[in-house]
Amino acid sequence: MLMEDTIAAISTPIGVGGIGIVRMSGSKSVEIIKNMFRTKDGKALECFKNRYFYYGKIVDSEGKTADEVLVVVMRAPNSYTKEDIAEIHCHGGIVPLRQILRIAIQQGARLAQPGEFTKRAFLNGRIDLAQAEGVMDLICAKTESAAEASIQHMEGILSSRIRNMRKSLIDIMARIEVAIDYPEEDIEEMETEKYIENLTFLINDLNRLLSTADTGKLIRQGIKVVIVGKPNVGKSSLLNALLRENRAIVTDIPGTTRDVIEESLDIDGVLVRILDTAGIRKAADIIEDIGINRSRQSIKEADLVLWVMDASGLIDDEDLEIAEEIKDKNKIIVLNKIDKQMAVDLKSIKEYIKDTPVIKTSAILGQGIPDVEKSIHDMVMGGKVWTNDEVFITNIRHQEALIRAGEHIRDALSALKNNIPLDLVSIDVREACDALGTITGETVTEDLLDKIFSEFCLGK
């Protein structure tokens, strides 16, 4: 909200290009980039020349490398926002982008609000008056789509844990505040040790949560992978083989119809929802037609398609139809039944499968299944597959809240250990509550007073 903060965001669409950019704007950008960037030989740079690309790597606070990068600094007022801007050009995958953004936040940047770079550009006079309405529309639209994603995400494990954590903090604060505002009531005051104990418990919980949030497992919606192919090429066998190899997480929709079966599994930290469709071919009757339409719908919604073909069969019109159906999709070709005689020739569909990985498997014998998994994993991590960046950003926002809250809880703990009076410690605890409240949109004072007056019997 404040114009004085340094803001950070991923400024390229996630999963679209090979290169991604994390951008910061604000007076602390240069300082933050100095803390994150190391040259090829591991040194920190004292000075960044204006508009000059530096090659090196981004490291976290423990010195671990996040990615190889190019970094450029554009100093005020000659930048998009007319503020100091630092850009980090890294690989386009979700993993490096997310890590780099998180390191920037840990170093003191704040995750930008929807449309905030543009807003600053306008407020600082970089964008002319004629575009003001456009800027307002942009803020509005982006906020709406972010809000939608965040509502979906709010129901997730992460936000309910954040809520609980905030509740615990409010409890602690209520204890402190009631003793301050009602010194004459006979309320038993909690010992400093007890506060330390409670806050230590909370910070440990918070750290655990942060580290799991990191692996991405808490991103609730997985990647939607759809298996397609003609009947009897081994689609179900492939699904079963994948399920056998991996821990199935939930069985969401257990065959409401026989046509689409959905399973969720965890491939090396990537949550994948995998759908087995009825074959796609010309419908023989109405019932089959319904099934095929369902398959088509699934393909439309898929983030990634596994196209299964019989390695011992030949390409025919039905295959061409499928190829047409999935031509705009991210896909992997699985040549199944390699335990039989190889007969398939992919030449006739070569325009359809440029840059498409081809994996050979025997689903029945379990051969090649790890290759399929690796291929899925690489496409996701490499940034080729990722559609819903709003959810991704929401997740980062949750992490940011946790990081900030953690900082304040640590301040509170060190204050307690140094015998600082409780009413001052309370300042840190309030800030921690505020940080977590940014996720849920709640303000401290009212919740605190509610807590105080429901818990303690007070007043004349």
Q: Which positions touch another protein (CB under 8 A)?
A: 1-4, 113-116, 119, 122-123, 129, 132-133, 135-137, 139-140, 143, 173, 177, 179-186, 418-424, 427, 430, 441, 445, 448-449, 452-453, 457-460
Tell me how far, at minimum, the Cβ of 85 lies from another protein, in Å.
19
CA distance 222 to 216: 10
CA distance 152 to 199: 30
Token match 């936000």: residue?
Answer: 159
Instruction: Compare residues 341 and 445 and give the one whose CB is closer to another protein.
Output: 445
Instruction: Compare residues 178 and 238 and give the one whose CB is closer to another protein.
Output: 178
Residue 426's nearest CA partner among 170, 165, 197, 205 is 170
Strand residue runs (E) in 248-310: 260-267, 270-277, 304-310
Instruction: Compare residues 308 and 393 and give the one whose CB is closer to another protein.
Output: 393
Instruction: Compare residues 15 and 26 and give the one whose CB is closer to another protein.
Output: 26
- Rounded to 10 degrees, the C-alpha dihedral 374/377/381/383 comes to 100
User: What one-character DSSP code corresponds to residue 185?
Assistant: S
Tell me how far, at minimum, the Cβ of 68 lies from another protein, in Å.
35
Instruction: Compare residues 297 and 414 and give the one whose CB is closer to another protein.
Output: 414
Tell me how far, at minimum, the Cβ of 425 lies from another protein, in Å.
9
Tell me how far, at minimum, the Cβ of 198 lies from another protein, in Å.
19
Q: How many CB atoms are closer than 10 A to CB 338?
A: 18
Residues forming a β-bridge with 414: none
Tell me how far, at minimum, the Cβ of 297 lies from another protein, in Å.
33
Instruction: Compare residues 232 and 414 and give the one whose CB is closer to another protein.
Output: 414
Residue 269's nearest CA partner among 95, 149, 101, 399 is 95
Tell me how far, at minimum, the Cβ of 380 lies from another protein, in Å.
31
Tell me how far, at minimum, the Cβ of 58 lies from another protein, in Å.
28
Q: Name the region of 232 (left: φ>0; alpha: ψ -120 to 50; beta: rest).
A: left
Cα-based angle 37, 76, 108 (whole degrees, multiple of 5): 45
Tell me how far, at minimum, the Cβ of 139 lies from another protein, in Å.
5
Instruction: Compare residues 114 and 383 and give the one whose CB is closer to another protein.
Output: 114
Tell me how far, at minimum, the Cβ of 140 lies from another protein, in Å.
4
Find out whether 349 and 323 touch, Cβ atoms under 8 Å: yes
Instruction: Compare residues 358 and 449 and give the one whose CB is closer to another protein.
Output: 449
Cα-based angle 279, 283, 289 (whole degrees, multiple of 5): 85
Instruction: Compare residues 117 and 352 and give the one whose CB is closer to another protein.
Output: 117
Find out whether 108 and 394 touch, Cβ atoms under 8 Å: no
CA distance 444 to 433: 7
Q: Would you give the distance in Å from CA 218 to the centre of its chain?
A: 9
Tell me how far, at minimum, the Cβ of 57 lies from another protein, in Å.
33
Cα-based angle 144, 149, 151 (whole degrees, multiple of 5): 90
Instruction: Compare residues 343 and 427 and give the one whose CB is closer to another protein.
Output: 427
Instruction: Compare residues 133 and 351 and give the one whose CB is closer to another protein.
Output: 133
Alpha carbon distance, N-terminus to C-terminus of the chain: 41
Tell me how far, at minimum, the Cβ of 189 lies from another protein, in Å.
9
Integer angstrom CA distances of residue 224 from 124, 244, 326, 336, 428:
42, 19, 14, 21, 42
Q: Would you give the distance in Å from CA 5 to the centre of its chain?
A: 23
Residues forming a β-bridge with 87: 23, 72
